[in-house]
């Protein structure tokens, strides 16, 4: 599992784009047109908490304030302590294959005359590209992601994948996970908690969740293949 969740072992091709300062990562979506891929990519990035900064026929730039304390320490300034993450996605179509090439940057003093950007390494863009690819091809997953900070000594559900065992179990965004397989999470750090979900396909996990109403509920979820939400758009 991953925070954003960005699951599944997908093959990522690393390339160096001429327009980039460093190597970027890329993925391919086959059997579809560029406009549709751009539309789905936009929906995916908005779900991940980004806003659209600019868009044209071949590129979309997304932005979001960084809530990472480490980013704020190293890239925040006395003028603006909150740096901005920017994701650059470029789209190229050759016949029935669309290639998405992406780069991520951290920006100090965003939207000012003192703006300065620093490129992340290629691996940092891969989770976002994987998330977009999952929208078409699906992946083996439980189908939920969590905040890495505790709420009421629990971990909050940030996202639920459609058609997943999590959705079928009735888990919703905002629910709190109190126990995993009988173990309270209140003393677990996020890494320890996250490792509980790093299990083989077919594994079932019992959760105690707290609903927004305050009701506690026991549910069982399974790590299984979840079809892509937009798989039906791909030409076979």
- Summarize the confidence of residues 75-96 as an average pLDDT: 93
Residue 91 lies in a domain: yes
Same domain, 188 and 126: no
pLDDT digits (tens, 9 = 90+) for 139-172: 999 999 998 889 999 999 998 998 899 999 999 9
pLDDT digits (tens, 9 = 90+) for 93-148: 999 999 999 999 999 999 898 999 998 888 889 999 999 999 999 999 999 999 88
- Between CA 108 and CA 114 the distance in angstroms is 8
Domain stops at, among 137, 170, 195 = 137
> What pLDDT does 8 receive?
29
Same domain, 90 and 179: no
Same domain, 163 and 123: no
Q: Identify the CATH number of the domain in which residue 133 sits.
A: 3.30.310.80
Check if the beta carbon of residue 19 is closer than 8 Å to that of residue 126: no
Domains: count for the chain: 2
Same domain, 56 and 43: yes
Same domain, 168 and 128: no
Same domain, 213 and 152: yes
Same domain, 101 and 185: no
Burial of 198 (0-12, 13-18, 19+ CB in 10 A): exposed
> What pLDDT does 175 receive?
96
CA-wise closest residue to 233 among 32, 71, 87, 20:
32
The pTM assigned to this predicted structure is: 0.76
Residue 13 has pLDDT above 50, yes or no: no
Same domain, 122 and 195: no
> What pLDDT does 162 receive?
87
Residue 9 has pLDDT above 90, yes or no: no
Domain stops at, among 116, 137, 158 = 137
Q: Identify the CATH number of the domain in which residue 178 sits.
A: 2.30.42.10
> What pLDDT does 79 receive?
87
pLDDT tier for residue 236 given thresholds of 50, 70 and 90: low
pLDDT digits (tens, 9 = 90+) for 164-217: 999 999 999 999 999 999 999 999 999 999 999 999 999 999 999 999 999 999
Same domain, 201 and 146: yes
Same domain, 192 and 85: no
Q: 166 lies in which domain range?
A: 140-226
């Amino acid at each position: 599992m991953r925070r954003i969740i960005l699951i599944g072992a997908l093959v990522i091709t690393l390339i160096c784009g001429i327009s980039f300062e460093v190597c970027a990562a890329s993925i391919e979506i086959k059997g579809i047109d560029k406009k549709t891929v751009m539309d789905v990519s936009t929906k995916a990035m908005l779900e991940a908490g980004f806003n659209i900064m600019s868009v044209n026929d071949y590129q979309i730039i997304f932005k979001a304030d960084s809530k990472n304390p480490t980013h704020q320490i190293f890239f925040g300034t006395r003028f603006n302590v909150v740096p901005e993450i920017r994701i650059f996605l470029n789209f190229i179509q050759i016949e029935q294959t669309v290639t998405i090439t992406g780069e991520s940057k951290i920006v100090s003093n965003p939207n000012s005359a003192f703006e300065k950007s620093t490129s992340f390494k290629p691996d940092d863009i891969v989770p976002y590209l994987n998330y977009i690819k999952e929208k078409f091809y699906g992946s083996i997953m439980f189908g939920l992601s969590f905040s890495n900070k505790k709420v009421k000594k629990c971990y909050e559900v940030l996202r639920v994948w459609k058609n997943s065992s999590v959705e079928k179990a009735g888990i919703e965004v905002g629910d709190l996970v109190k126990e995993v397989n009988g173990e309270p999470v209140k003393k677990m750090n996020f890494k320890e908690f996250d490792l509980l979900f790093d299990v083989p396909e077919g594994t079932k996990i019992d959760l105690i969740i707290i609903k927004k109403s305050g009701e506690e509920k026991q549910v069982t979820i399974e790590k299984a293949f979840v079809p892509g939400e937009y798989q039906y758009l791909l030409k076979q």
